[in-house]
Chain A
């Protein structure tokens, strides 16, 4: 991984119990890299009164209890530990996520391919042919916003968003791609496939699979494999494999 310059940051108050530490204003993998590094550094510090952190594309939201962790103490900690050490966690995870592309599981695949001047198979090959970075989890439980989409697959959102989309939808919105949790979410993104992987299952020992900073690689599967894996996932099997890779 290339060395990145320490970024300037801004502390933005979100009321009396939260701060946003803003590292940038645009979607940028280098910015997100430092957001994740800061999140890990803060988590490892174990500051009393630090309630919860939320890594996003370009900032880290920190919820704190001002009675136990005064704002000034939190601000001083950040200043004193800047920049956060990259890769201090010793690596990250790459998930292999099976996807059944097209058909009833990817209602917009053909139209998206036509719009891009590609065959549906070529779209699948491009989409499944690279690693994506989880920029953040948001919008809904376990919904993963992924960066790194091939520019040939960039596609505008639908003008008529769907009030409900199938659980586990894999979709494209603008220059991003995403994986839905097993919930019927409203969405204007283009649906290209479905995964049997349940990124969120509150009854499973590990309720959430993906975290900001993880890598995701999609693997095309056929309908039969989808059904088999979906059955296993229903029983609590994550059906996605994570490998640890060094940063």
Chain B
């Protein structure tokens, strides 16, 4: 029988996600993929995988998994979930080797919402439409298009870890929080000036209706200029629709591809990950930036990922072989070894 991770308890909506699928929005299928691609890359790097390898995206309450492989390396990146190995606490952002029969438990996070559990070698699953990402509405990806269920066996491709386990020192780990930056439009002209001001000055609270498809917000109603129906057009990851009741709905990775409510703004790509850490009941504020500024922020965010990859060191001390990092194809673009931290 193939080596696997067995799901003992499913947690709440944990799914297999990679970098998502591309080219199928025109057929009604959004890209899916990790809600925070940078965290996916970090978790994968810690276990020696390419950054876009499929991992388990965990939301709010993690699963319990049993190792059914001789050896397998795992690492968690993201919100500080309580992580245990056979009842003993483990550190996040630190690779850990499991042996057959080991039991990995993920509780709830102290703060934040999502994290990624990467497994050395990734999963032995067949891509559907070019990706392993789970999209439940289209019954695509993962084991059979669904979230993890108790009893599932997640087959592993090649779990025996090759090199030393890595850790990301604490001061390099991403922090969350802060305003959610947006580019106004594509239909900002569907709102009054007062409506736009409301959107950019008032806090909005995530409701319980928040998942991978989108999150409904509560807060002061945003005034439309002339009605709230448009002829449906395309929706991207981060599009903020404002239906008739005036409260925004942010559409995310598993969204509908088209929709008929005006979109006041779009969350910038670099802030989608931070948005994915906001819990129901928590408030966010929006801040408008230009397209050019958003593109510069995205470049900066990629450099921050590169710095974090370069800052990884062997777990338990020692020095890292940089040839190993390159061999693992971890780093795209500029690598700076400076331990300089920039807030997101």
Selected from A14, A55, A60, A181, the residue in CB contact (under 8 A) with B185 is A14
State whether the Cβ of A57 lies closer than 8 Å to any Cβ in chain B: yes
Closest-CB distance, A45 to chain B (whole angstroms): 16
Selected from B238, B256, B267, B295, the residue in CB contact (under 8 A) with A66 is B295
Chain A residues near B128 (CB, 8 Å)?
A: 202
- Interface members, chain A 195-240 (any B CB < 8 Å): 200, 202, 207-208, 211-212
B26:A137 contact, CB within 8 angstroms: yes
Chain B residues near A48 (CB, 8 Å)?
A: none
Closest-CB distance, B269 to chain A (whole angstroms): 5
Number of B residues contacting the other chain (C-beta, 8 Å)?
A: 43
B28:A137 contact, CB within 8 angstroms: yes
- Which of A19-27, A92-100, A109-117, A125-133 touches B? A19-27
Q: How far is the CA of A53 from the CA of B294 in the complex (A)?
A: 21
A67:B299 contact, CB within 8 angstroms: yes
B27:A56 contact, CB within 8 angstroms: no
Number of A residues contacting the other chain (C-beta, 8 Å)?
A: 45
Chain A residues near B125 (CB, 8 Å)?
A: none
Closest-CB distance, B195 to chain A (whole angstroms): 18
B22:A56 contact, CB within 8 angstroms: no
B residues near A, CB below 8 A? 22-29, 128-129, 137-140, 182-183, 185-187, 230-236, 238-239, 256-258, 263, 266-270, 291, 294-295, 297-299
In the complex, 28 of the A-B residue pairs with CB atoms within 8 angstroms, ordered by the A residue number, are A13-B185, A13-B186, A13-B291, A14-B239, A15-B182, A15-B183, A16-B270, A16-B294, A16-B297, A16-B298, A17-B298, A18-B266, A52-B22, A52-B25, A54-B234, A55-B26, A58-B233, A59-B234, A61-B233, A66-B295, A136-B232, A138-B256, A140-B28, A141-B24, A141-B29, A200-B27, A207-B27, A211-B27
Give me 8 other A-B pairs in contact (C-beta within 8 A), A14-B234, A54-B26, A141-B29 excluded: A13-B185, A13-B291, A14-B183, A61-B235, A137-B27, A139-B257, A140-B28, A207-B129
